[in-house]
């Protein structure tokens, strides 16, 4: 590129990464934390699904129990993020650390103190904290007693938790996320047990009336989000409240109108809650669909006001992959991770996630033009097997290449297409437990964590090649991208 035409990202662009509590903290029984839903999920792999057990089985390994020991090492980790020049870091608050059963009248002060310390450490480096209030971390008690998001009582308890955190971190945190990736809950979608469980505390196969349950939980989650948004802004009008959606752009297999129409429907499944949370009302088209399917939504008069008052301030997008819709796909078609089939034009990761940088630009345009709200890329990254070479070197050029390609299209989206994007957060800046497989072996970080799936390793941290690369990108505000 011509030197004088070289451009940077916007001057106030947030650069950083995202992590979640259950995938990093460990310390699952420390300082009064109660058991959360992810504490009952074992280590799996690409080939072996994670098991969800009713009780803790001491013969099995549960990766959330120790995770990467962020609970004791957050100071070291945040210092490393600061060394890369981060200006933003997204963490999640583990609900079960604040309200161990979800029902206490008073929060667990030790839990609050932990998050205050984490936030203070983040801020001491001038990093902007972005806090997710629900990233698969519900107290298990609420699933057992109330059936989790199927019951409106849980919305009330979630809001109690949100209020506690809005107040505890008032004046320190201004960017909040009401929940992570609830958009996968849709009655039309055939889901995996693990993904349904992460979002809801229920296995898909155990839901008695699947369509009704998914619709109810999807509705209650969207409602809880807009209620939390209004509450958060009431507590501090400086708060910017968003929600994070895991979005997969869908492409029709070919120009056969049947494929195009089915593709449109596939893509739209991810959007009904975004419509509900950004347009001021739960969408009529979805209610119509529910009526036809015999699904009943218990919508109260006051909900209408909640949707009106709780419109989001920004939309967080987790982007990993695109997918292809083929009507009547058959057994020979190579199936993709989140529905649809593989795209023959794209390479895929070892875990079968297609790598599509243009999909990011397409998606950002799609969402921004639909809502006109600021966006934030809240997750993007590559899970890969890394090799620890001599002298503790990890040459992860494939990861650098992945980020470079995605940042190129993001830059075009911002500078050429005029998309308002607040920042770019990688998943994840440090190796952590994979949500879908429970592995450590699926590594995402700029920082290697010495921990293996068999439970070995001393948790020490090593900077990978990508660490230095990202540092340079941030330092130069992406001028060479
Ligand atoms: C998103 C989740 C994250 C994270 C990421 C990568 O859906 O928000 O928690 O885990 O996906 O997925 P995985 O860990 O399964 O590779």
CATH of the domain at 103: 3.20.20.80
Number of compact structural domains in the chain: 1
Q: How far is the CA of 257 from the centre of ligand 1 (A)?
A: 33
Residue 3 lies in a domain: no
Which atom of ligand 1 lies closest to the CA of 20? Answer: 9
Cα of 380 to ligand 1 centre, how many Å? 9
Give the residue-averaged pLDDT of 249-273. Answer: 96
Instruction: Let me know if residue 416 belongs to a domain.
Output: yes
Q: List the domain range (segments joined by +) for residue 219.
A: 14-476
Residue nearest (by alpha carbon) to ligand 1 atom 16: 434
Q: What is the pLDDT of residue 192?
A: 85
- Is 1 domain-assigned? no
Residue 180 Cβ inside 6 Å of ligand 1? The answer reads yes
279-328 pLDDT per residue, tens: 999 999 999 999 999 999 999 999 999 999 999 999 999 999 999 999 98
- Which has the minimum average pLDDT: 38-47, 185-194, 367-376? 185-194
pLDDT band at 5 (very low <50, low <70, confident <90, very high): low
Which of 89-93, 170-174, 184-188 has the least mean pLDDT? 184-188
Q: Which residues are catalytic?
A: 181, 379
- Secondary structure element (H or E) that encloses residue 160, with its range: helix 152-168
Residue 8 in domain: no
427 lines ligand 1 (CB under 6 A): yes
Residue 393 phi/psi, 5° resolution?
Answer: -100, 140
CA of 111 to the centre of ligand 1 (A): 24
Q: Report how far ligand 1's centroid is from the alpha carbon of 180 (Å).
A: 10
Atom of ligand 1 nearest to the CA of 442: 16
The answer to whether residue 1 scores a pLDDT higher than 50 is no
| Residues composing the chain | 481
What's residue 333's pLDDT?
84
- Please check the confidence at residue 329 and state whether its pLDDT lies above 90: no
pLDDT > 70? residue 59: yes
Q: What is the atom index within ligand 1 of the atom nearest the CA of 444?
A: 16
5 within domain boundaries:
no
Task: Give the ligand 1 atom nearest the CA of 136.
Answer: 9
User: Over the stretch 210-247, which tens digit does the pLDDT of each residue have?
Assistant: 999 999 999 999 999 999 999 999 999 999 999 999 99
The burial of 284, by beta-carbon neighbours within 10 Å (0-12 exposed, 13-18 middle, 19 or more buried), is given as: exposed
What pTM was estimated for this model as a whole? 0.97
Whether 6 is in a domain gets the answer: no
Residue 156, domain member (yes or no) = yes
- Main-chain dihedrals φ then ψ at residue 148, nearest 5 degrees: 55, -135
Percent of the chain past pLDDT 90, that is, above it, reads 92
pLDDT at 337: 73
Residue 367 in tokens:
């969402």
In angstroms, what is the span from residue 91 Cα to ligand 1's centroid? 13
Cβ(435) – ligand 1 distance below 6 Å:
yes
Which pair of structure tokens corresponds to residue 152? 């409106």
CA of 164 to the centre of ligand 1 (A): 27
Q: Is residue 31 part of a domain?
A: yes
Residue nearest to atom 3 of ligand 1 (CA): 435
Q: Is the pLDDT of residue 338 over 80?
A: no
Cβ of 246 closer than 6 Å to ligand 1, yes or no, is yes
Query: Of 210-219, 337-346, 376-385, 386-395, where does mean pLDDT reach its minimum?
Result: 337-346
Phi-psi region for residue 69, left (φ > 0), alpha (ψ -120 to 50) or beta? left
Residue 46's pLDDT band (cuts 50, 70, 90): confident
Q: From 337, 435, 453, give the residue whose CB has the most ligand 1 atoms within 8 Å, as the site to mutate.
A: 435
With a 6 A CB cut-off, is 20 part of the ligand 1 pocket?
A: yes
- What residues pair up with 447 in beta bridges, in sequence order? 430, 463
Contact residues for 246 (Cβ-Cβ < 8 A; gap 6+): 180, 181, 183, 184, 270, 318, 320, 379
Locate the ligand 1 atom nearest the alpha carbon of residue 246 and give its number: 7
Alpha-carbon span 400 to 446, nearest angstrom? 9
Q: Cis check for the bond before 402: say yes or no (omega within 30 of 0).
A: no
Return mean pLDDT, the chain. 96
Q: 114: closest CA among 47, 192, 26, 220?
A: 26
Q: Give the residue whose CA is nearest to atom 14 of ligand 1.
A: 434
Instruction: Tell me the average pLDDT across 420-428.
Output: 98
């Amino acid at each position: 590129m011509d030197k004088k035409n070289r451009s940077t990202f916007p001057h106030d662009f947030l650069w950083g990464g995202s992590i979640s509590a259950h995938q990093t903290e460990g310390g699952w029984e420390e300082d009064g934390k109660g058991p959360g839903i992810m504490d009952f999920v074992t280590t799996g792999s690409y080939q072996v699904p994670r098991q969800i057990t009713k009780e803790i089985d001491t013969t099995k390994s549960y990766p959330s129990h120790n995770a990467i020991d962020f609970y004791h090492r957050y100071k070291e980790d945040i210092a490393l993020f600061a060394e890369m020049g981060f200006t933003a870091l997204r963490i999640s608050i583990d609900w079960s650390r604040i309200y161990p059963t979800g029902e206490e009248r008073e929060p667990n002060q030790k839990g609050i103190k932990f998050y205050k310390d984490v936030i203070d450490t983040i801020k001491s480096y001038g990093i902007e904290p972005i806090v997710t209030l629900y990233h698969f971390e519900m107290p298990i008690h609420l699933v057992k007693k109330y059936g989790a998001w199927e019951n409106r009582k849980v919305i009330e308890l979630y809001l109690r938790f949100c209020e506690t955190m809005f107040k505890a971190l008032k004046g320190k945190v201004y960017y909040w996320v009401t929940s992570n990736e609830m958009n996968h809950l849709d009655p039309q979608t055939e889901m995996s047990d693990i993904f349904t469980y992460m979002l809801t505390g229920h296995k898909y196969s155990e839901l008695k009336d699947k369509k009704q349950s998914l619709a109810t939980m999807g509705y209650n989650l969207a409602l809880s989000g807009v209620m939390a948004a209004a509450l958060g802004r009431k507590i501090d009008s400086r708060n910017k409240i968003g929600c994070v959606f895991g979005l997969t752009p869908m492409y029709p297999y070919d120009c056969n109108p049947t494929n195009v129409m089915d593709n449109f429907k596939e893509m739209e499944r991810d959007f009904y809650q975004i419509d509900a949370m950004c347009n001021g009302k739960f969408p009529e088209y979805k209610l119509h669909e529910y009526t036809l399917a015999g699904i009943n939504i218990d919508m109260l008069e006051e909900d209408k006001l909640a949707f009106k008052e709780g419109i989001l301030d920004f939309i967080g997008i987790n982007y990993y992959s695109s997918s292809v819709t083929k009507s009547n796909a058959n057994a020979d078609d190579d199936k993709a991770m989140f529905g649809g089939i593989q795209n023959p034009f794209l390479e895929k990761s070892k875990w079968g996630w297609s790598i599509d940088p243009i999909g990011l630009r397409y998606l950002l345009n799609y969402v921004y033009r639909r809502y006109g709200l600021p966006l934030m890329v809240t997750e993007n990254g590559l899970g890969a097997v890394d090799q620890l070479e001599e002298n503790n070197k990890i040459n992860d050029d494939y990861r650098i290449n992945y980020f470079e390609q995605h940042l190129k299209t993001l830059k075009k989206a911002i500078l050429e297409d005029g998309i308002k994007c607040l920042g770019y957060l990688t998943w994840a800046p440090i190796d952590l437990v994979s949500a879908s497989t429970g592995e450590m072996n699926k590594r995402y970080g700029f920082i290697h964590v010495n921990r293996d799936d068999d439970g070995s390793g001393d948790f020490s941290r090593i900077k990978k090649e990508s660490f230095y690369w990202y540092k340079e990108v941030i330092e130069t505000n992406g001028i060479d991208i």
